[in-house]
Amino acid sequence: MKILWIDLNSSYAHASLALPAIHAQIKGNPDIEWEIVSCTINENIGMIVKNAAKCKPDIIAATAWLFNKEILLHIICRLKALLPDSKVILGGPEFLGNNKDFLLSTPFVDCVFRGEGEENVPLWLQIWDKPEKWNMIEGICFLDSQKQYIDKGIARVQYFEKLIPPEESKFFNWEKPFVQLETTRGCFNTCAFCVSGGEKPVRTINTEQIRKRLQIIQQHKIKNVRILDRTFNYNNKRALELLKLFREFSGIRFHLEIHPALLTNELKTALADMPTGCLHLEAGIQSLHENVLMQSRRSGDLQRSLEGLRYLCSLTNMETHADLIAGLPLYKLEQIFEDIHVLAHFGAGEIQLESLKVLPGTEMRKRAEEWGIRYSPYPPYEVLETNEITAEELQYARQLSRLLDGYYNTPVWQKITRQLILSESGFLKSFLNFLIASDVIDKPLSIEKRGLLLYDFCKQVYPEYTVHVSVAWIIAGLSLKKAPAEKVMTKHQNPPSSWNILQGKYKDSLKLCRLPHKTGNYWFGFELETQTHVPVFIAEN
């Protein structure tokens, strides 16, 4: 038997764990021959199909999720036309809901699998050519010989801790900039918008198993590991054990999803004591309004969340990112602006504003009509309108997200952007309107172009902040011949009798430049020998 796996990812940086996770469980079976075609959604479909068809497989398999499903179906339907005797099985998050309409509308797909596949897909492979026996497999959905829909529920791995780890599969991809390490299955929370909201119980693997897997990861010189705990600190004792374990692996940066409301004093102390740069935290916030969180079934006291987030953002040894979701029921546009202000005040390392995706299998989709949510029936199932936010306002929120990514979430411009958000209540709306009117909000912009736009805007609306834009521009090493550096004095600048050194150490060989401001000057020193455009010395007097 030959299996062809279509490994279709959204970008080069991402790799699915599905293939290595399943292959690891049956890698020793001599009766199964595996082939893989790895590709991205941006590649030519014809070339992907050509390469895949040459394998002449008995089974074509792939996982589908919201960003690859459309292209995947284009590939699969062509392959089935070329290889009509091959059986097609698909799995992944796209099939967590009711699959009847999908199977009726895609006759080139023989069956889909709902849920966790490591234990049950190997069972299906034993009877792949006997469709009359498929109803024995938990999690399988298909049309029988009479075109009747058969649905065998959802498969849950019973012995998660006994699974052979995907790192032991030859298909585990070590060439990506990061790897994912799944240390739990399920989630204690009940978020209506999340596909893990109904995954109970939470299953874990022990610390010693995680240590062995991290040793393998370290041997492959991987520098970034994304820990796939849906909520890293749902169990305080376990979180403390894992933080202690992570300290053993210097040189690896661990990305964690953390719930700010669940921070204990003990965990706060442990986080504060972690080596600088060891952790990157994603704080689940979604909204800072109690009624929105309650409607979305997200548990955790809001006040404790705010206190926990404030603490996390105060830590200098790690960066904390916070996320908001536009389009949640009861969430209004004005509240999104308010929440961004609060997160900026806390000093969040990034503010990620996403639009709600009404995903298959979630409570949000089941209750969308009841809650007044209108959404696209096609991937990525983005919300189009709710009772609280119009279609026009949702597009405005999407454009606001572009602004945040281009400025607040970009280190070069973050300090001045945060300063403007906190000091000028109308900044976000007026700057967003400026970018929209300039017809650039949806275009890719270089660091330099973003600076030019911000400088031009501040000259018109907030002239007292132009000097701060200029400072950011110079520190970024951008051209001293362009507008944001128009007030910089570059010729024959001698150091003053005294100054307050902000960065670096002054020496006579440096070329000095001076930027006057209302009460004094900023000084920048550049290395002439290396001809670097980034100042190595900064002072103020």
**pLDDT tens-digit map of 168-200:** 999 999 988 889 999 998 887 888 898 886 666
Contacts of 33 (CB under 8 A, 6+ apart): 1, 2, 3
Mean pLDDT, range 424-452, rounded to an integer: 97
Residue 243 confidence (pLDDT) above 80: yes
Which one, of 259, 241, 249, lies nearest residue 204 by Cα? 241
Contacts of 123 (CB under 8 A, 6+ apart): 136, 137
| The pair of three-digit structure tokens given for residue 436, joined into one six-digit string | 């929209």
Mean pLDDT, range 521-529, rounded to an integer: 92
pLDDT value of residue 487: 95
pLDDT single digits (tens) 439-497: 999 999 999 999 999 999 999 999 999 999 999 999 999 999 999 999 999 999 999 99
Tokens 């209302």 correspond to what residue? 518
Which one, of 96, 78, 52, lies nearest residue 195 by Cα? 96
Contacts of 124 (CB under 8 A, 6+ apart): 89, 113, 134, 137, 140
CATH of 2-151 among 3.40.50.280, 2.70.98.70, 3.50.50.60, 3.40.50.1970 = 3.40.50.280
pLDDT value of residue 198: 64
Measure the CA–CA gap between 156 and 120, rounded to whole angstroms: 9
Residue 14 confidence (pLDDT) above 80: no
pLDDT single digits (tens) 396-412: 999 999 999 999 999 99
Residue 366 confidence (pLDDT) above 70: yes
Q: How sure is the predictor about 202, in pLDDT bands with cuts at 50, 70 and 90?
A: confident
| The pair of three-digit structure tokens given for residue 133, joined into one six-digit string | 């026996």
Residue 500 confidence (pLDDT) above 90: yes
Measure the CA–CA gap between 249 and 357, rounded to whole angstroms: 36
Residue 12 confidence (pLDDT) above 80: no
Mean pLDDT, range 147-169, rounded to an integer: 94
Measure the CA–CA gap between 63 and 72, rounded to whole angstroms: 9
pLDDT single digits (tens) 44-76: 999 999 999 999 999 999 999 999 999 999 999
Work out the mean pLDDT of the chain and round it to a whole number. 94
pLDDT single digits (tens) 317-356: 999 999 999 999 999 999 999 999 999 999 999 999 999 9
State in words which class domain 174-387 has.
alpha beta
3 state DSSP class of 356: coil
Q: Is the pTM of this model over 0.85?
A: yes
pLDDT value of residue 138: 97
Tokens 């021959």 correspond to what residue? 33
Bridge partner list, 35: 4
pLDDT value of residue 15: 76
What are the residue boundaries of the structural domains of the chain, listed by start?
2-151, 174-387, 410-486, 488-541
pLDDT value of residue 292: 94
3 state DSSP class of 62: strand
Which one, of 244, 256, 234, lies nearest residue 180 by Cα? 256
| The pair of three-digit structure tokens given for residue 71, joined into one six-digit string | 């292209």
Contacts of 107 (CB under 8 A, 6+ apart): none
Mean pLDDT, range 505-531, rounded to an integer: 91
Percent of the chain clearing pLDDT 70 (strictly above): 99
Query: Is the distance from CB of 473 to CB of 451 less than 8 angstroms?
Result: yes
pLDDT value of residue 13: 67
